[in-house]
């Protein structure tokens, strides 16, 4: 039995929002790739001229009425990049922890609850896209983005190349709220 706090999201509603977002990204020169990975549909949304992207994982399937049963999953967003790996085969590297958008919504009509979830989803996607758009490229190797890291003791935080240990490029974190 599903908890009342979860909301059933029609697949066409979520796909419709993704279609609007991806159309905007493409119109500005960005790229969008869609594929199926097991039980999930994955969208990779890449800003123009960037190596970083947002991966959207969702359990929806084209032609389905809704995503899996409520409470089983969430839509996930991962900021990442492909970097050269062994033999220059691209390897996916996440730049931050994945962000889950749970299918919950405040009380109201089904339509209001779906709209509330979709608004939270769009806001999280906008935040992740901005992070992909502004992720700094390593000044040392110029092949990979930088991500927030911390010293071994967990003390000092800094930006480090995601190709570490092959590249040891670092730079200080920007001031709180400032651009990377």
Q: How does pLDDT run across 65-117, given as a tens digit for each residue?
A: 555 554 456 789 999 999 877 777 888 999 989 999 988 888 888 899 899 99
45 and 104 belong to one structural domain: yes
101 and 161 belong to one structural domain: no
123 and 43 belong to one structural domain: yes
The two structure tokens encoding residue 9: 């999201």
Q: Which helix (H) or strand (E) holds 173?
A: none
Contacts of 47 (CB under 8 A, 6+ apart): 25, 28, 30, 53, 129, 132, 133
More confident residue, 19 or 70: 19
Compute CA 148 distance to the chain's CA centroid, rounded to the nearest angstrom.
16
User: Looking at the 3D structure of the chain, how many domains does it have?
Assistant: 2
What's the domain range around 162? 136-180
78 and 108 belong to one structural domain: yes
Q: CA–CA separation, 23 vs 30, rounded Å?
A: 9
The two structure tokens encoding residue 13: 């509603």
């Amino acid at each position: 039995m599903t908890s009342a706090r979860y909301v059933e999201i029609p697949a066409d509603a979520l796909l419709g929002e993704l279609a609007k977002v991806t159309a905007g990204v493409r119109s500005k020169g960005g790229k969008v790739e869609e594929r199926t990975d097991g039980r999930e549909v994955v969208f990779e949304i890449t800003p123009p001229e960037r190596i970083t992207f947002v991966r959207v994982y969702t359990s929806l399937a084209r032609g389905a009425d809704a995503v899996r049963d409520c409470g089983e999953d969430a839509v996930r967003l991962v900021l990442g990049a492909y970097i050269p790996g062994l033999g220059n085969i691209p390897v996916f590297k996440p730049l931050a922890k994945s962000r889950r958008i749970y299918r919950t919504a405040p009380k109201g009509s089904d339509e209001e609850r779906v709209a509330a979830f979709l608004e939270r989803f769009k806001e999280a996607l906008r935040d992740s896209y901005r992070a992909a758009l502004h992720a700094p490229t390593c000044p040392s190797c110029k092949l990979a983005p930088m991500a927030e890291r911390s010293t071994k003791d967990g003390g000092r935080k800094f930006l480090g190349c995601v190709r570490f240990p092959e590249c040891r490029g670092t730079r200080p974190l920007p001031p709180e709220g400032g651009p990377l």
